[in-house]
Amino acid sequence: MSERARALLDSVPNEVETATAALGFDEAFTLHHRAVFRTARALVRDTGLAEDVTQEVFLRLYKNMDSTPKDELLRAWLLRVTMNVARNTLRGQGRASAREEEYAKQAAEDGAFMAEPELDFERRTQIEEARRALEKIKEPMRSCLLLKQQGLSYREIAETLQINEANVGSLIARGRKEFVRVYGKIGGH
């Protein structure tokens, strides 16, 4: 810890330290929001993403209020969660960027950027059929499929959906099978 941070902590009255021991969610949010947001913004270097990260951190705090530290360790817990969520967000963005670049490269090779109205209409129709098919797939299979398509690992999917990691693979496989079945009916293939 830096000397400046230590001096700041030493200057905090004992009454404040004991008051933080029994913080509710609202008080914890008010007290720590600025620090969480600043940490997130420093890591992701984007205000919009930092807001998303901050929201996720406080959502996790709300969901885990019973198991989070109740004393002065809450701030450290929040900042550790902030760093983890920010890293995951950046990782996900990197994967999304790589997929978009690969798609653009493949589309350019296939000539998908032609301004032919028939191709554009056909592509939009296929996208709409895929969306309708996805809507018919039950949760959590649909969410597993979407998160896997976004490049998340099985562990990340399990953490995000709060399900057992061992079930993610079978949910994805069953979801894919169901998607193929439903998409074939909708698309008439």
* 63 and 24 part of one domain: yes
Q: What is the dihedral of CA 122, 135, 86, 160, to 10 degrees?
A: -150
Of 113, 135, 161, which residue constitutes the final position of a domain? Answer: 113
| pLDDT of res. 119 | 76
Query: Domain of 154?
Result: 115-189
Report d(CA 55, CA 37) in Å as an integer: 9
| Backbone phi and psi for residue 70, each to the nearest 5 degrees, phi listed first | -100, -5
Question: Are 77 and 136 members of one domain?
Answer: no
Indicate whether 156 pLDDT > 50.
yes
pLDDT category at 160 given cuts 50, 70, 90 is confident
Residue 17 has pLDDT above 60, yes or no: no
Q: Are residues 66 and 152 in the same domain?
A: no
Token pair of 17 as six digits: 């330290």
Residue 115 DSSP label: -
Cβ distance 33 to 50 under 8 Å?
A: no
- Answer whether 82's CB lies under 8 Å from 49's CB: no
**pLDDT at position 95:** 84
**Average pLDDT value over all residues in the chain:** 81
Q: Using CA atoms, how far apart are residues 22 and 30, in angstroms rounded to an integer?
A: 14
- CA distance linking residue 69 with residue 37, whole number of Å: 20
- The verdict on 77 and 135 lying in the same domain is no
Share of the chain above pLDDT 90, in %: 30
Q: Which residue has the tokens 């807001």?
A: 51
21-65 pLDDT, tens digit each: 457 889 989 999 999 999 999 989 899 999 999 999 999 999 988
Three-state DSSP at 161 gives helix
Same domain, 3 and 81: yes
pTM over the 0.75 mark: no
Residues 72 and 120 in one domain: no
